Amino acid sequence: MRDWITKETETAPQPVVPAFNASEKIMRLQMTIERVIKGKSETVKLALVALLAKGHLLIEDVPGIGKTTLANALSRALALSFQRVQFTSDLLPSDVIGLSIYNQQNGAFEWKPGPIFANIVLADEINRATPKTQSALLEAMAEEQVTVEGVSRRLPAPFMVIATQNPAEHHGTYPLPESQLDRFMLRLHVGYPNKADERSILRDRERQNPLEFVRPVMSEADIMELQRLVSEVRVDEALVEYLLNIVEQTRQTEIIELGISPRGTLSLFRSAQALALIEGRDFCIADDIKRLVLPVFAHRIIVNSRSTNLKHKTREAEQLLQDILQKTSVPI
């Protein structure tokens, strides 16, 4: 009898573990965010590109356009820790990173972590803080750690900074330094909604804020797995050559003072892999790269100051990149 029980137990069918469906999970996350951010499908998709490519996101536009709402919707749809920091002119680096406080009871200093110790950190209106406070994010964004008083502390994984800012020419803003801008994988512009979408926004908010209904649809394990799948997306050598040709032209064009850094090159490569996965492919195509050149590169290049002015700096950087794209032959 005991042998029979053992045999039956050994041959009993094992429970079937459902396969990881990347496309379904990504689509569900995108739809959840788009219930709040109306008519901005491409913007939402590019925000997901930054998340899945392990990058940081800069959202730049005029006040009241939905920058903070987009960041909040993304954070609420993920089962991750979240902290929001309102950047102001009197914000100190220790307000972001943390500091050691002397405990009189035990006669020792105790580490009090700042809001940077979260999976997703919203740096709201980042360019209203002084350059000294902005620089507090540099190490965190590049190495996923912070060093205080000679001690390095790891940040939680996954880790992502979503920063919002008003255009540089607005009053009370400090321009982000080149080293800070280069650490943002993508810069997005939300833009005004069309009339139909704005009517939908008004109706949705008649009684309650749609953000209150956003629930987590993706776990930490899901995100880590999707980020792993991004790294496995195939990029043919011809596409790598195409990407490098674009980068090289940003460094050789006289009107551009500062071309794309190797970090920027890698950002375009990784974001193209992420976009392919979001589109349901395990391989990249040339359109992935073309689509991402402006959001990945435009905030990184510096146009010759004699050829532009502050007010139209972003527009002229994007036009230069468009010209480079037109001149660069696309692999067949």
Strand, helix or coil at 240?
helix
- The pLDDT of residue 307 is 54
Per-residue pLDDT band at 1 (split at 50, 70, 90): very low
266 inside domain: yes
Give me the phi and psi of 103, to 5 degrees please.
-100, 110
Whether 224 and 283 map to the same domain: the answer is no
What is the number of domains present in the chain? 2
Q: Residue 130: name the closest of 161, 173, 183 by CA.
A: 173
Whole-angstrom Cα Rg for the chain = 23
Whether 64 and 111 map to the same domain: the answer is yes
Range of the domain at 288: 233-332
Whether 227 and 279 map to the same domain: the answer is no
Using CA atoms, how far residue 31 sits from 16, 169, 190, 237, in Å, is: 28, 34, 17, 34
pTM: 0.88
Strand, helix or coil at 102?
strand
More confident residue, 70 or 8: 70
33 inside domain: yes
Whether 175 and 242 map to the same domain: the answer is no
- The pLDDT of residue 234 is 97
Last residue of a domain, one of 177, 212, 231: 231
Residue range 67-100, pLDDT digits in tens? 888 989 999 999 999 999 999 989 999 999 998 8
Res 109 pLDDT > 50 = yes
Last residue of a domain, one of 231, 266, 284: 231
Whether 155 and 260 map to the same domain: the answer is no
Per-residue pLDDT band at 11 (split at 50, 70, 90): low
1 inside domain: no
Residue range 173-208, pLDDT digits in tens? 778 888 899 999 999 988 888 899 889 888 887 778
9 inside domain: no
Whether 72 and 114 map to the same domain: the answer is yes
Instruction: Please give the Cα distance from 297 to 271 (Å, whole number).
Output: 12
pLDDT above 90 coverage of the chain, percent: 58
Whether 176 and 250 map to the same domain: the answer is no
- The pLDDT of residue 139 is 92
Whether 281 and 298 map to the same domain: the answer is yes
Strand, helix or coil at 68?
helix
Instruction: Please give the Cα distance from 127 to 131 (Å, whole number).
Output: 8
244 inside domain: yes
Per-residue pLDDT band at 53 (split at 50, 70, 90): very high
- The pLDDT of residue 210 is 83
More confident residue, 189 or 269: 269
- The pLDDT of residue 20 is 78
10 inside domain: no
Whether 271 and 320 map to the same domain: the answer is yes
- The pLDDT of residue 172 is 64
Helix boundaries (H) for the chain: 2-11, 22-34, 41-52, 67-76, 93-97, 131-134, 138-143, 178-181, 195-204, 220-231, 237-252, 262-278, 286-297, 313-327
Whether 196 and 283 map to the same domain: the answer is no
Residue range 118-155, pLDDT digits in tens? 999 999 999 888 888 888 899 999 999 999 888 899 99
Whether 24 and 142 map to the same domain: the answer is yes
Instruction: Please give the Cα distance from 174 to 162 (Å, whole number).
Output: 18
Strand partners, 78: 218
141 inside domain: yes
12 inside domain: no
Residue range 284-312, pLDDT digits in tens? 999 999 999 999 999 999 888 665 555 56
More confident residue, 18 or 39: 39
More confident residue, 230 or 214: 230
- The pLDDT of residue 4 is 46
CATH of the domain at 283: 1.10.8.80
Res 5 pLDDT > 50 = no
Last residue of a domain, one of 169, 197, 231: 231
Whether 252 and 221 map to the same domain: the answer is no
CATH of the domain at 143: 3.40.50.300
Of the segments 98-112, 133-147, 201-215, 222-236, which one has the largest average pLDDT value? 222-236
More confident residue, 330 or 14: 330
Question: 41-52 vs 286-297: helix axis angle to the nearest 10?
Answer: 90
Res 162 pLDDT > 70 = yes
